[in-house]
Structure 1
């Protein structure tokens, strides 16, 4: 028998406690970039019972994504935002998913991100990362920003950590391994960093703001 949303929510309450699950269910989190970081982080957040996930990506699913991102062969060619929304809907039908096939820019971010409580920066380009982080910190000082830097190559996953940079800004990763220098990305190490991001989001929602 397929469980109802009420059944699944009840299971989350039983696991997390009613008070914490209420906080998770009322949270709105934006995941900006749906590659190895964003697709994995979004899955973790959906499974945790975050109430609303806002997904942002302008790319389509490519065969080169399949080795580390949460997509399937039958989704090749689909917009990442729509494909991931479909997958998350199967994982967590109790979660509201809004898929935005759009490129975030300084001209549209104020409108698109205004309703979220926490922003996950999951881009793969340094200039895009800096643009999003700087915009949110300057224009939405009360929002929490969880960014990532350094998860490429074969170095130990134990080097990946979460650091608190300012009151509302956190950085996950080892802080130095770049794919251009390391030469490759592996699903396992990228997923560790994505899990750090998702875990920090959950801690913030719970009221635990220390890394």
Structure 2
């Protein structure tokens, strides 16, 4: 019988998924059969696809690709692998967006920020005590490589201005705007729309405090501009930025990027 195991053709006389696991691994390995993780033995048939995962062991690139395809489906995974996404600002939004895009296998990321990690960042940003004092670009790149070492990660530790927007982002399909300050958000969005006529921008506005998560939504005010958030709750005295709503908004942005990369333009 011919089946595919971890991305490679495999011939076997085995009749069940766990029989193949016994042939190739050990009893503690995880088995994904045709995209679904199984906890009980299951019969197999010709041309089934199995992924066998040893716990705590980083697979080779070909095997990891196969495992991600098993979750995403090959068609979706291949489109994500071709994606080129820039993230402008690596705070509560940008750091979490980067983590999500890395997990779904976006092929190339650009991380742009001029700041360092400081203690108050730990309340909502994807950093750890060991990162304190490090440039956010370097600290985040370190984390992303631990998640998926096979994607391309570019970093620019610079402040974004209207004068360097074209140079920084001209080779990318999508910009995720992830700044804190409204004037900086407007600067980047306006400069990108004006200087980069084919790029799409996924921006954010309104995720402060602890209002209902259901208020956060994704809108499309312009053809190439998508805005995530509740559009109202900005950070101010008595209403800070907290992990839950910030991460929900980051999830909206990452999901919009996903939809754009697989060809879904609407919201």
| TM-score > 0.5, shorter chain as reference | yes
Give the corresponding residue for 1:2: 58
Structure 2 residue 104 is the aligned partner of structure 1 residue 51: no
Q: CA deviation at 1:148?
A: 0.1
1:21 alignment partner, one of 64, 69, 77: 77
Give the match's secondary structure for 2:100: helix
In structure 1, how many angstroms separate the alpha carbons of the residues matched to 2:119 and 2:237? 23
Per-residue CA deviations over 1:105-138 (Å, capped at 9, x if unaligned) read 1111111101000000000011110000001111
Structure 1: 5+ residue stretches without partners:
none
Residue 238 of structure 2 corresponds to residue 153 of structure 1 = no
Structure 1 position 156, deviation (Å): 0.3
Residue number in structure 1 paired with 2:173: 117
Higher share of residues assigned strand: 2
Q: Distance in 2 between matches of 1:170 and 1:109?
A: 18
Greater Cα radius of gyration, structure 1 or 2: 2
Q: Cα RMSD over matched residues? A: 1.0
Q: Do the aligned partners of 1:81 and 1:101 also contact (CA within 8 Å) in 2? A: yes
- Distance of 1:189 and 1:67 partners within structure 2: 12
Work out whether residues 62 and 76 of structure 1, in 8 Å CA contact, stay in contact via their aligned partners in 2.
yes
Equivalent in 110, 113, 116 of residue 60 of structure 1: 116
Q: Pick from 159, 162, 168: which aligns with 1:103?
A: 159
Distance in 1 between residues matched to 2:158 and 2:123, nearest whole Å: 24
Where 2:206 maps in the other structure, the secondary structure is coil
1:5 Cα shift? 2.2
- Point out where structure 2 has 5 or more consecutive residues left out of the alignment: 1-56
Q: Aligned pair count?
A: 211
Larger RCO (CA under 8 A, 6+ residues apart): 1
- Once residues 31 and 123 of structure 1 are traced to their aligned partners in structure 2, the CA distance between those partners, rounded to angstroms, is 10
Q: Distance in 2 between matches of 1:2 and 1:52?
A: 20
Q: Select the structure that is richer in helix.
A: 1
Normalization by structure 2: what TM-score?
0.77
Runs of at least 4 residues of structure 1 off by over 2 A? none
